[in-house]
Chains A and B, each alone.
Chain A
């Protein structure tokens, strides 16, 4: 059983640019959630994908968008980057759509916006 993987590990962008982060879910997991963890804060929910459809979204603007592919891997896209987008972006996968299954997190992508 493979765990959740994310790429890249680190990324540096400048304001106004666009970025794509990638996540491979744990084997057998069809639900993927994305979180933003700013320095010194807890993770904040961005959105969730279940069977290739977005089925929940947190308080993030539309320039944060995502995709889930048939193999349940996922992408997070952020357009028009702002300095405050600098954070650790975490992907988490869950088995099935059950609300009581724990989420398994990847190591994260550290995004720095200059």
Chain B
């Protein structure tokens, strides 16, 4: 079985400061990892994914994520936060050995960026 943990319900950061949203995962094989963002009353928007290769993945809106196999983590980062980044962020994992392409999501982390 695959699972994702997002240990923080909420992350607060001031505009202009760097941000990190944490994610750890558990899969039986090698993982595909994803980050999605959800704005109020909206569906999920894809930010970035890790499939293989470079452990630092760059995505949309200046976000990036670092894959760490030994720590089974895939933390989302951004060098300089914007107020407009305030939203709900979900980490998701897919087992490469899964016979179908479903995602297992964490419970989400609310990011609040203050002016």
Contacts and interface: CB of A to CB of B under 8 A. Distances in A.
Interface stretch (A14-22, A66-74, A96-104): A96-104
Counting contact residues on chain B (CB < 8 A from A), the size range is 20 to 34
Nearest to A49: B100
Contact of A100 (B51, B105, B106): B51
Contact of B99 (A41, A44, A55, A108): A55
B44 interface: yes
Interface in B36-58: 36, 41-46, 49, 51
B43 A107 contact: yes
A105 B45 contact: yes
A32 to B, nearest CB: 11
A103 B100 CA distance: 12
Interface in B74-115: 90, 92, 94, 96, 98-108
Given A99-B32, A99-B94, A42 B106 contact: yes
Counting contact residues on chain A (CB < 8 A from B), the size range is 20 to 34
Given A42-B90, A42-B108, A100-B49, A56 B100 contact: yes
Contact of B104 (A4, A45, A92, A101): A45
Given A43-B105, A102-B34, A50 B44 contact: no
A108 B90 CA distance: 16
A90 interface: yes
A94 B105 contact: no
Contact of B44 (A99, A100, A105): A105
B106 A55 contact: no
A100 B106 CA distance: 18
A99 B90 contact: no
Contacts of A25: none
17 contacts: A31-B101, A41-B108, A42-B92, A48-B102, A90-B44, A94-B101, A97-B100, A99-B32, A99-B98, A101-B101, A102-B34, A103-B101, A103-B103, A104-B46, A105-B43, A105-B44, A107-B43
